Amino acid sequence: MPVIPTDPRLTRVYMDANATTPLLPQVVQAMHPYWMEHFGNASSIHLHGQQARRGVDQARETLAEFFNCHDAEVVFNSGGTEGDNTAIFGLLRPGDHFITTAIEHSAVLQAAQRVAERGVEVTYVAPLASGLIDPAAIREALRPQTRLISVMLANNETGVIQPVEQIGKIAAEVGAFFHIDAVQAAGKICIDVRKIGCHLLSISGHKMHAPKGIGAMYVRRGTPVESLLVGGSHERRRRAGTENVAGIVGMGKAAELAMKSLEDGTIERVAALRDRLEREILQLPGSGVNGMGCDGNPVARAANTTNIWFDHVEGEALVIALDLKGVAVSGGSACHSGATEPSHVLMAMGLDKTRARASLRFSLLKTATDADVDHVLSVVPQAVQHLRSVSPVEAGTRG
């Protein structure tokens, strides 16, 4: 894709935090010694290895607090995709039954397709029009051979928070394993694996101001999940490969900062900014929020996320128009940028293709300011009105 030239003097506002986040200065500071002075292999027993191991162990303790689990139940890996794949490929065998939802990330959906080709029966539970998964629909999908249920905690496109505690109870009743993709929830919602009742949970560092290429999983003691990678005894034989020490240390620091932000009012401040952004954008005729409940109000969502449709506008054209005005947003999952098909999440919620293609995701960083929101609000109406005037598109309706 060609780089679009922009004026370097242009004010730029990044509202695509669900795609990735920048490293926080404190994270960089924590990682720095492990690039240079403490460069050892954490599996070595000499001083250099011990220094590296100490950094890994401290990060593991922090992630255990983050998940509310034992240190031994934390497994470091490369990110959310590996975590999701590990849960699915590591537990399912031909003849098993797997329940997931139609709104999962592609890391789950494509893994589900792969195991289906290998003899696993897969059921995809559709969401309500609000984007919520009804626990009753999970219960109805159960079969005697159901081995694994996988439901995301917060949707990456709409931010809608799923009723995972209720689903966890259903899984426990029938003895099924329960996996959660918590990539978009990490750092925005308090995660308590004991309260949720899951067996596995995946997160990714770069969604919470840690580096790309590092992630973590909660794996409950006794869960017979097979490792995707073999070759060494790393991570208690649950994930072979020399530890990415600097990345792990950065993830630990990011988790520490995330826990603080859940207690110091940061998340509430971001939610207030999101609500103001949403409220004022919706003053535009022919716009609305994806993720509305029966009462006409948005359902519970991750604090930083809103997904808004703009009738008579192509979403991709609006993304480009806003980028030229200094605002970075997304038409959906970053993993599907440039895809010609509309969002599978929005389609599953009942939107038709036109409205699904006319929808944008705004996802705020924790460092977002009132000035950032002001700038976005100053350019979105102009961009929408301009596109409607030069290239009207037939308005979509909910299916």
Residue 215 forms beta bridges with which residues? 77, 204
CA nearest 163: which of 187, 141, 208, 130? 130
In angstroms, the CA 265 to CA 219 distance is: 30
Catalytic positions, written as ranges: 335
Task: Using alpha carbons, list the distances in angstroms from residue 258 to 161, 278, 299, 374.
Answer: 18, 24, 23, 26
- The pair of structure tokens assigned to 45 is 């027993």
In angstroms, the CA 52 to CA 122 distance is: 42
In angstroms, the CA 281 to CA 224 distance is: 48
Sheet bearing 121-125, strands edge to edge: 74-77, 215-219, 200-204, 177-181, 146-150, 97-101, 121-125
Q: Is 285 exposed, middle or buried (0-12, 13-18, 19+ CB in 10 A)?
A: exposed
CB half-sphere exposure, 30, CA atoms < 13 A: 26
Q: Is 110 exposed, middle or buried (0-12, 13-18, 19+ CB in 10 A)?
A: middle
In angstroms, the CA 254 to CA 340 distance is: 35
124 membership: H or E segment, kind and range? strand 121-125
In angstroms, the CA 98 to CA 115 distance is: 9
CA nearest 159: which of 288, 305, 33, 285? 305
Q: Tokens 């977002």 map to which residue?
A: 368
> Cβ–Cβ contacts within 10 Å for residue 350, how many?
18
Q: Please report which residue ranges of the chain form alpha helices under DSSP H.
A: 25-31, 47-67, 80-91, 106-117, 135-141, 164-174, 193-196, 234-237, 245-261, 266-281, 315-324, 344-348, 353-357, 370-390
What amino acid is encoded at 382 in this protein?
A: Q
